[in-house]
């Protein structure tokens, strides 16, 4: 899983337009002390640091050791076990992108996110969507599950959060994932196709700024403590 995950992170780093597009849906909720949970190799960290004072954690030390940015406080953190390098610090905002699906006990992880937030603080969480899209590649990545908007909302509400918004994102990516990784059962993430997706995404995905589609590659949720 480690090699597959690191390879996928390296490929997605090239999707610069897409990463900025994702951020455009929740940037307004970020301010003050910000924590990025499961920061990986930093694909989003360089974007998030412009919104406030950023701390970043990951359970894989070989990931965060690659950071070389004095503006980001980075170190070990396990959201399931509640263990972090910054001890008992609390945050104004927490960002958790494509992380919770990797955690066996996601209920405990979400409750621990709640504990890390200041009162009135916001959490932004992005996870893979749709049981229909669950593929062999999901298993290789270490995904325990995919979510629906409804199932993801319920988990956060049960942890004491007030939901501010929730929706599906990236209908076009969902179609590509279903064909390439589900139907064709490819075991390698399409490296060359990511650049094509990133270029044409600005043309195919713009309607999602206006409309909420009934399906997508991801579920995006924003909640408040």
- At 52-80, the pLDDT tens digits run 999 999 999 888 777 888 889 999 999 99
User: Taking the CA of residue 122 as centre, how many other CA atoms within 13 Å lie in the half-sphere pointing to its CB?
Assistant: 13
Q: How far apart are CA 225 and CA 222, in angstroms?
A: 10
Domains of the chain: 2-224 (3.40.50.150)
CA distances from 82 to 113, 132, 158 (A): 9, 32, 18
Check pLDDT > 90 for residue 148: yes
Four-CA torsion 188, 190, 194, 197, nearest 10 degrees = -130
pLDDT digits (tens, 9 = 90+) for 105-130: 999 999 999 999 999 999 999 999 99
pTM: 0.93
Question: Does position 4 have pLDDT exceeding 90, yes or no?
Answer: no
In 79-195, beta strands by DSSP E: 83-84, 91-97, 117-128, 162-169
Residues 32-45 have pLDDT tens digits of 999 999 998 888 99
Query: SS3 letters for 187-212?
Result: CCCCHHHHHHHHHHHHHHCHHHHCCC
CA atoms within 13 A on the CB side of 101: 26
Dist. CA 91–CA 118, nearest whole Å:
6
Q: What was the pLDDT predicted at 194?
A: 74
Check if the beta carbon of residue 118 is closer than 8 Å to that of residue 92: yes
Instruction: List the structure tokens of 29.
Output: 């909720």
Q: What is the mean pLDDT of residues 214-219?
A: 97
């Amino acid at each position: 899983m480690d090699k597959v995950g690191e390879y996928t992170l390296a490929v997605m780093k090239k999707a610069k337009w897409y990463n900025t597009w994702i951020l455009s849906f929740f940037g307004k909720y970020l301010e003050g002390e910000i924590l990025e949970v499961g920061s990986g190799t930093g694909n989003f960290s360089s974007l998030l640091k412009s919104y406030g004072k950023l701390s970043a954690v990951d359970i894989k030390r070989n990931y965060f050791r690659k950071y070389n940015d004095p503006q980001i406080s980075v170190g070990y953190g396990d959201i399931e076990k509640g263990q972090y390098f910054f001890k008992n610090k609390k945050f104004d905002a927490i960002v958790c992108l494509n992380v919770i699906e990797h955690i066996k006990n996601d209920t405990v992880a979400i409750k621990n996110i709640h504990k890390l937030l200041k009162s009135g603080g916001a959490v932004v969480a992005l996870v893979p969507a749709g049981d229909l899209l669950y593929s062999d590649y999901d298993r290789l990545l270490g995904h325990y599950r995919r979510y629906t908007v409804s199932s993801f909302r319920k988990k956060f509400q049960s942890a004491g959060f007030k939901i501010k918004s929730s929706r599906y994102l990236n209908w076009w990516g969902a179609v590509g994932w279903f064909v390439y990784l589900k139907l064709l059962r490819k075991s390698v993430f399409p490296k060359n196709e990511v650049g094509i997706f990133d270029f044409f995404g600005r043309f195919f995905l713009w309607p999602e700024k206006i409309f909420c589609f009934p399906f997508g590659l991801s579920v995006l949720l924003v909640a408040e403590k």
